[in-house]
Amino acid sequence: MGQRFHRLAHSFSILVDFIFPPVCLICGDRLAPSQRFVCDGCWNGFTPLQQPLLPIEMTNLLQEEEKYFTHSFALYDYSADIQHLIHMMKYKSMPGIAARFGREIGAALARCDQLRDVDAILAIPLHPLRLRERGYNQAELMAREISRVMARPLLAGVVRRRRYTQQQAKFAKSERARNVRDAFQLLGPEGVQDKNIILVDDVLTTGSTMNACARTLQAGGVRTLTAVTIVRI
């Protein structure tokens, strides 16, 4: 039944596209058959950051806290359009946007000389309940593409989220560190020992979630950790 169902589903999606042609999520123009979610003009309009890779001390993040990752890499300048896309990716069941962001980030990382010695890619995990609600982990979909483009292994099942934390966006900045503290648990230290690791999430806001996960990974003897996101807010 599998194949037949897929053929039927494919025919149905062609029919739906015919009746409701897909349009760009940013400008509303009709998309070419080769384009998904966003037209080429709008993608090319996103401004890449002049300095995507920064030592964490140069970002003003985590000023009062001990830092467990050394660098932040973000691809784009923060804008309302990027914010809209990230929202659609996370809350409107559009995982394909995560894969596209992952490809763009992966290509930029592969061009970055300072990241030549990266050994592996890892995504910030979602709590299993949140994963069930959403159906996918956008950070993992991004990490999968980054791993493919950079030709470095994707580490899975190394850390897990053991507390169902409230969504960080609901908290004041000062409360976010407390909300995620001890939220992560290391399952497979042997996979990260002595490695230079890229840790992927969608956005870097206060850095608290990234730092909490990085702290857990450091307990496994990681060599370096670079936080990789679409934007720094």
Question: Of the listed pieces 40-48, 162-170, 186-194, 218-226, which binds Zn ion according to CB under 5 A?
Answer: 40-48
Question: Of the listed pieces 31-39, 99-107, 133-141, 187-195, which binds Zn ion according to CB under 5 A?
Answer: 31-39
| DSSP secondary structure of 44-109 | HHSPBPS--EEEGGGTTTTTTS--S--EEEEEE---HHHHHHHHHHHHSS-HHHHHHHHHHHHHHH
User: Between residue 136 and residue 165, which ones bind Zn ion under the rule CB under 5 A?
Assistant: none
Does residue number 24 form part of the binding site for Zn ion (CB under 5 A)? Answer: yes
User: Between residue 41 and residue 70, which ones bind Zn ion under the rule CB under 5 A?
Assistant: 42
- Select 39 or 146, whichever has its Cβ closest to Zn ion: 39
Does residue number 123 form part of the binding site for Zn ion (CB under 5 A)? Answer: no
Question: Of the listed pieces 39-47, 63-71, 92-100, 123-131, which binds Zn ion according to CB under 5 A?
Answer: 39-47
- Select 22 or 189, whichever has its Cβ closest to Zn ion: 22
- Select 42 or 228, whichever has its Cβ closest to Zn ion: 42
Q: How far is the CB of 39 from Zn ion (least distance, A)?
A: 3
Burial 180-197 (b: 16+ CB within 10 A, else e): beebbebeeeebbeebbb
- Select 100 or 144, whichever has its Cβ closest to Zn ion: 100
User: Between residue 60 and residue 119, which ones bind Zn ion under the rule CB under 5 A?
Assistant: none
Q: How far is the CB of 103 from Zn ion (least distance, A)?
A: 18
| DSSP secondary structure of 137-165 | -HHHHHHHHHHHHHT-PEE-SSEEE-S-P
Burial of 13 (0-12, 13-18, 19+ CB in 10 A): exposed
Q: Residue type at 39?
A: C
The Cα 160–Cα 200 span in angstroms is 14
The Cα 183–Cα 74 span in angstroms is 24
**Binding test (CB under 5 A) with Zn ion, winner from 8, 9, 15, 27:** 27
Give residues in contact with Zn ion (CB under 5 A): 24, 26-27, 39, 42
